[in-house]
Amino acid sequence: MGLVLYITGAEARQEILTKQPWAHHVKTGTVASLGREFLDVFQEGLGKCAVTKAILKLKEGAIPVYRHARPVPYASLPVVEQELDRLLNVGVINSVKNAE
């Protein structure tokens, strides 16, 4: 299982052009015009959905369960810590000091 890394707008355009099986059928001008027309979609950084709110439906009487962090291979620790710091900085995750 690998670490999932999120890509920015410019990287997303390059990803579409180079790695998608259907990308060779898309004209470069079309991709550029889409980038200009939908600038907010291809902007740098993490996008946020402001249209709707997520709703979690829990079973009646459900009790939260605390789980320890999964072990990470020692060689992967710097990469994992760097990605966790990045997700923390952009607001995807929050730091929790202890379980309630």
Tell me the domain boundaries of the chain: 8-45
Mean pLDDT calculated for residue range 75-99: 87
- Which tokens go with 95? 């730091």
- Kindly state the helix (H) or strand (E) to which residue 37 belongs, with its residue range: helix 28-37
Q: What is the pLDDT of residue 78?
A: 94
- Distance separating alpha carbons of residues 14 and 72, to the nearest angstrom: 31
Q: In sequence order, what are the residues at sequence separation of 6 or more whose Cβ sits closer than 8 angstroms to the Cβ of residue 39?
A: none
Task: Using pLDDT thresholds of 50, 70 and 90, give the confidence band for residue 99.
Answer: low
pLDDT tens for each residue of 42-66: 777 777 777 888 888 889 998 888 7
- Which tokens go with 72? 């990470």
* Average model confidence (pLDDT) across the chain: 76
Please report, as a single letter, which amino acid is at residue 1. M
The pTM (predicted TM-score) of the whole model is 0.45
Using an 8 Å Cβ cutoff, are 8 and 14 in contact? Answer: no
